[in-house]
A and B are shown apart, each in its own frame.
Chain A
Amino acid sequence: MLQVRDLQAGYIRGAPVLRGLDLDLVRGDCIALMGRNGMGKTTFVKALMGVLPQISGSIRFLDQEIAALPPYRISNAGIAYVPQGREIFPDFTVEQNLAMGRIGKRKQRNEPVDFVYDYFPVLAERRKQLGGTMSGGQQQQLAIARALVGRPDLLLLDEPSEGIQPSIVQEIAAILRRIVEQEKMTVLVVEQNLDLVRRLADHVRFIENGRIQSGVAVEEINRNPAMIGRYLSV
């Protein structure tokens, strides 16, 4: 469903962060992208969403070339992005935040959003609360729920564990796993938190110096922790 070929992208001309990145996702995949700081994880996600000024190579999503499209077209093509730092609307209530995820989508505009409350009961209790007054973990759940109400084909998560206490990370991982299985959702998660990756992903890809270096099934990591050392330790 997603084929990335020879992707070069960066922030200034002549200094690409991604240097010929290839990646394939099949529908139903749940893949974690791991790597050290500065290896291009977030840059890759931004390149996918169309916000980088310098980009070349090919990104095909559902038989459509999206590498040159503006972010709103990429979103409407079916990729939902949960950015690093959550980025909910702090002055909006939970319901208004969810409405923002739905109004822009032609098909989902009038559909109920109640199904996300089944996954995130904490949001159901706080429908009228302002997003900015919630805890980090709750905001993260809201950001994921807001992405889901648009009924995306691909869910893109950038460091969902950042700044959240371990027990809540485990809870969010479990909820995401349920969503993957019940909604047949395709997920690409960029993450450094091994605990979340183990609980959520089926496969792991390692990114180094702007390229995908290798990939393994998550069980492999559990058997062979040295592998993590090679790609993640400084």
Chain B
Amino acid sequence: MSGYSRQLTVLFWAALIASPLFLDGWNLGLLSQLMIYGIFALSLAFIWGQGGLLCFGQSLFFGLGAYAMALTTKDMIPGIPATTLTGLGLAVILPAVVAGLLGLALFKGRGLYGAYFGIVTLSAAVIAERLAINWSYIGGFNGLLDIPPLRVGWGSWQTELYDPLPFFFVVLVAALGIYLLLLRLERSAFGTVLRGIRDNETRATFLGFETAEYKAAAFAVSGAIAGLAGALFAVQFAFVSPAILGFALATEVLIWVAIGGKTVLLAAFIGAVAVKSVENVLSDTLGQYWLLVLGLLFVVAVVLMPRGLLAPFLQLPLPRALRLSGSKEE
């Protein structure tokens, strides 16, 4: 645990908040995109780092959120008004419900463990990708174009967040809000139980925990957050395609989180931001070889630093409640 982890954490968010002072519109747009990937990485870091569930198909929930946002705001779902709010709501609720139900189905009874869970989630993502390719109403292989930007305000006063700056702040608020929410969850009793289940599930059942429900609940939270990231992604690019449901993105997010560090939320977030920005720079100069570099980096991270490259510096101290209780005797 680094002595400066708290300062580094605050500094990072402060730098993000201050970044509009230094960056032009184009780069702000780029940074928003990186933060969206960061939110996506947070969703995986929570379920993998805290719950010990290696989800190999996290893109399924990202894609569900993106499609839910796109279909709602393009007024393609009968009965649901085409607003930003309903779009975001559906983009969060739909993946949460899918993840929760999938979790209950997989964990209840004898339950699925380890690699089998990874394989099933990967299959689910690939199936969803195939379905989206073959479903012409949602655009088929070509996906959906012209997704409207975020719209805020009521009645006659309404405006579209078309410029990079306001959109940047929306993404920043979402990222910071989700970071704080997950951090709070992680440091709550619920988080402690999750880590207990991660370390030894049988042991946790002996202490009276219905572990399947805890895992399914954590999975649903993770799915909801991945869905929100997907919705923001759809809005920024104004375009979704079946590729964001599938294998490639699922592996990418896994690599970001592994390189950053799965047990520390901010490490996973920065892992996504860093890998993606290095990719933007290097994929021009290295071309195809970039994937080779990324693969090597992943191997190095997993073999030499299994906790991730950034986690050791960003691991926060224990919650105050756990640090100070009993200080009377000390």
Contact = CB atoms under 8 A, between A and B. Distances in A.
B329 A128 contact: no
A100 B196 CA distance: 7
B156 interface: no
Interface stretch (A8-16, A88-96, A185-193, A199-207): A88-96
A208 B325 CA distance: 48
Nearest to B325: A95
A81 interface: yes
A131 B196 CA distance: 13
A101 B193 CA distance: 10
A76 B209 CA distance: 8
Interface string B25-65: 00000000000000000000000000000000000000000
A70 interface: yes
Given A93-B322, A95-B325, A100-B193, A87 B205 contact: no
Interface residues of A, number: 29
A51 interface: yes
Contact of B207 (A90, A91, A96, A100): A100
A81 B211 CA distance: 17
B52 to A, nearest CB: 12
Given A103-B189, A124-B326, A124-B329, A146 B202 contact: no
Most buried by A among B192, B203, B204, B207: B207
A76 B208 contact: yes
Nearest to B318: A93
Contacts of B210: 70, 72
Interface in B173-215: 189, 192-193, 195-196, 199-200, 202-211
B320 interface: no
Nearest to B205: A71
Contact of A89 (B189, B199, B205, B329): B199
A156 B38 CA distance: 47
Given A95-B322, A150-B207, A103 B193 contact: yes
**Interface size band for B:** 20 to 34
Contacts of A91: 195, 199
A104 B192 contact: no
A124 B330 CA distance: 10
Contacts of A146: 207
A109 B200 CA distance: 21
A99 B189 CA distance: 8
B202 A51 contact: yes
Contacts of A36: none
Given A87-B200, A89-B199, A100-B192, A72 B322 contact: no
Contact of B208 (A127, A128, A150): A150
Nearest to A124: B329
Interface string A89-117: 11111011001110111000100000000
B326 A127 contact: yes
A105 B209 CA distance: 8
A124 to B, nearest CB: 6
Interface in B238-270: none
Contacts of B322: 93, 95-96, 128
B202 to A, nearest CB: 7
B208 A105 contact: yes
A20 interface: no
A75 interface: yes
A127 B211 CA distance: 26
A105 B323 CA distance: 23
Given A49-B206, A72-B205, A146-B207, A104 B193 contact: yes
A89 B329 CA distance: 24
Contacts of B199: 89-92
Nearest to B206: A81
A70 B209 CA distance: 10
Given A104-B193, A150-B207, 16 more contacts: A71-B206, A72-B209, A83-B203, A87-B200, A87-B203, A89-B196, A89-B199, A90-B199, A95-B325, A96-B192, A100-B196, A103-B192, A104-B209, A109-B189, A124-B326, A128-B323
Interface of A: 49, 51, 70-72, 75-76, 81, 83, 87, 89-93, 95-96, 99-101, 103-105, 109, 124, 127-128, 146, 150
17 contacts: A70-B205, A72-B210, A75-B206, A83-B206, A87-B200, A87-B203, A89-B195, A91-B199, A95-B325, A99-B189, A100-B204, A101-B207, A103-B209, A127-B326, A128-B322, A128-B323, A150-B207
